Amino acid sequence: MIILGISAYYHDSAAAIIKDGEVIIAIEEERLTRVKHDNTFPFKAIEHCLKIAEINIRDVDAVAYYEKPLLKFERLLDNFIKTYPISIVPFIKGIPEWLGYKLKIEQTIKKKLNFKKDIYYLPHHLSHAAAAFFPSSYNKSAILTVDGVGEYQTTALWFGSNNNIKLLKSIDFPHSLGLLYSTFTAFLGFKVNEDEYKLMGLSAYGKPIYVDRIKKIIDYKENGSFNLNLKYFSFRDSFKMWSLYFEKLFGHPRKEKDKITKRNKDLAASIQKATEEIYFKILNYLYKLTKSENLCLTGGVALNSLANGKIYKKTPFKNVFIFGAAGDSGSAIGAGLYIYYQLNKAIDPKPIKNLYFGNNYSNFETEIILKENNVNYKKYTDESKLFTKVANLLKNEKVVGWFQGNMEFGPRALGNRSILANPKKRWMKTRVNIIKRREQFRPFAGSILQEKVGEYFEVPSNHYSPSMTFCFQVKKEARDKIAAIVHIDNTCRIQTVSKDNGRYYKLIKEFYRQTGLACVLNTSFNLKGEPIVESPTQAINDFFKTKMDYLVINDYLIKK
C-alpha cells in the first residue's frame, strides 16, 4: 500500500511517500524552490517524491493531509467574532487566501494532482503524535505534542500503544507555549517560526531575572496547564505578537539590526527558563497519567534542544525519542504513517533509524555537473583513501563542505549535507560563523561517535540521539578538546553517529584515529537565508561564494 503524506500552508510544506509502512522518500518544498520555509502547496516536492519512488499518482492508494482545514477556518472565524472589531484588518487580509486556496485542498489534490482515490484529513496534533510515536521503537509510550497552534490545540498529551494513539488531555488556542516563545522571539528582533533557535542560543548569555514578570503574562499550574494573560498579547487581532501592556512590562522591542543588549540577553534567558518550567510540569503530569518510562516528543517546541537535554534529570522518563523533523514538515510523514496503520491494524510499526529520505546524486551525475561548472576535482576510487584525506584536512583545520548520499529530511544537517570543521580550537566557531554569514553569538553542534558519547558529554548511559535534538553539558575534561562547539553555558547540541549514518560514521572514525577526537563540528550546508543545499550545483555555488577550503561530493574532492 502506498500513501502520499502532505503538509502545507503554514510553514515548511513537505511531501512524503510511505510504502507498506516505510518512508521511501520525503522532502520539504523549500529544498526544491529554494525559498526558505516555503509554505506553498508542495507541488514540486510531490512531483519529486513520485519520481524518486518511480511511481505515478495513479499508484498512490490514499492521500493523508496533516490537518483539518475547515476546523482551522472555524477557529479563525471564532477568533474574529471574539476580537471584533479590533481584528477586522487582519481578518479581511487573510480571508482571500482562505477562500482562494486554503479551503480548497480537496479540489487542489483531485484536479491539479489528478488524484481520484481517498483523501484523509487528520487533526494537526494527531499528525504530530503519529510522527513521534510510530518511528520510535516503543510498543507503548507517553506522547507530548506542543507547538504554536494547530486547528485549536496548542498542546496535547497522548498515549501510544502498538498502532493506536489515544488523546488524554489538551490545551487550546489562544493559550500556547509555542506562541509565548514566538512572542519573545519577535520582541527581540528575530523572525517568528524561523528564528526561535536564535533565541534559545542567545539565552545562554543572559540571566533569567525577568521570570517573575513572565509569570504575570502566563499562569501555570503544577499539572502543566497554563493560561496566557491575553491583555499582553495581540496575535489574535493584529499582525504584531505583543500589546502595549507587554512593552510596559518588558521595555521597548529590539529591531532586527539593533545591537543586542544585556536586557535582550536577560529576556532570552528568562523566557527559556519559564518555558522549561512549564515544559517539565507538563511532562511530569504526563508521566503520572501514563506511568510509562518511554516518552515521544514532537511539535515545534520539541525542537528546544536546551530544554530536551534536561528531561532525564527533571522528569521520571528513562527513554526519550524526539522525531528530528518535529515541525510541520514532519507531519507529512506522521499523517501518512497514521493512515497506513489505521488501514492495516494488524501490522506493527517499523522504527525509523535515520532521516536520510531525500535525493541521492550518483557519481555519474556529479561528474557531469562538475565538468559543466569547470571545477577542478580529484576522484577517489578507494573510499578509505578519501576518508583519510578529508580527516587529515579537518585535522589541519580546514573547513570542508560534505555532500553525500540521500539528503536529510527536517531542519538539521545530519552529515549528508553538512559543513564540517575541527572542533578543537575556539576560534573555529568564529570562522565558520563568518563562512555561513551568521551572528557570532550562535553556537554549533557536534557529531559524536555513538560509542564515545559518554566520554565527552553528561548523558544517560547509551544515550542515542541521531537527529540532533538534545543539548547536554560538556564534561569538564572534554571542554578544551572541543572548544569550538562548547557554548557559553558549557552545553552542546549533539548528534550521535553510528553505523546507520554510513559514510559519515566512517569519516568521524578516521578523524578519531588521526586526532584522538571522536567528534567534529557539524553545521548545515547553507548560507544565511538559504535552505540546506539539495543538489551538487547548489553545493558548488555556495562553496565558491565562501571561504570554505574544500568540498567533497560523493567520491570527488574539490579545491578552489
Task: Give the count of alpha carbons within 13 A of 364, CB side only.
Answer: 0
Share the mean pLDDT of the chain. Answer: 96
What architecture does CATH give domain 2-135+324-343?
Answer: 2-Layer Sandwich (3.30)
Tell me the mean pLDDT in the region 382-407. Answer: 98
250 and 213 in contact (C-beta within 8 Å)? yes
Per 3-state DSSP, the chain is made up of helix, strand and coil in percentages (nearest 5) of: 40, 20, 40
Q: What is the pLDDT of residues 201-246, one digit of tens each?
A: 999 999 999 999 999 999 999 999 999 999 999 999 999 999 999 9
Residue 158 CA to residue 169 CA, distance in Å, equals: 7
Tell me the mean pLDDT in the region 493-501. Answer: 95
pLDDT number for residue 455:
96
Residue 75 CA to residue 69 CA, distance in Å, equals: 10
Choose among 429, 101, 89: nearest CA to 237.
Answer: 89
Q: What is the pLDDT of residues 255-312, one digit of tens each?
A: 999 999 999 999 999 999 999 999 999 999 999 999 999 999 999 999 999 999 999 9
Does 317 score more than 90 pLDDT? yes
Does 560 score more than 90 pLDDT? no
Domains 172-322 and 363-559 fall in the same CATH topology: no
Choose among 351, 407, 327, 317: nearest CA to 134.
Answer: 351
Question: What ranges do the domains of the chain cover?
Answer: 2-135+324-343, 172-322, 363-559
Q: What is the pLDDT of residues 442-464, one digit of tens each?
A: 999 999 999 999 999 999 987 89
Domain 172-322 = CATH 3.90.1660.10: no
pLDDT number for residue 11:
87
Please give the CATH superfamily to which domain 363-559 belongs: Carbamoyltransferase, C-terminal domain (3.90.870.20)
Q: Report strand pairing: 218-220 vs 164-172.
A: unpaired
Which of 37-51, 136-150, 459-473 is least confident?
A: 459-473
pLDDT number for residue 461:
83
Residue 323 CA to residue 133 CA, distance in Å, equals: 8
Q: What is the pTM of this model?
A: 0.96
Does 46 score more than 80 pLDDT? yes
Share of the chain above pLDDT 90, in %: 97
Does 60 score more than 80 pLDDT? yes
329 and 49 in contact (C-beta within 8 Å)? no
Q: What is the pLDDT of residues 532-547, one digit of tens each?
A: 999 999 999 999 999 9
Tell me the mean pLDDT in the region 106-119. Answer: 97
pLDDT number for residue 289:
98
Residue 289 CA to residue 158 CA, distance in Å, equals: 9
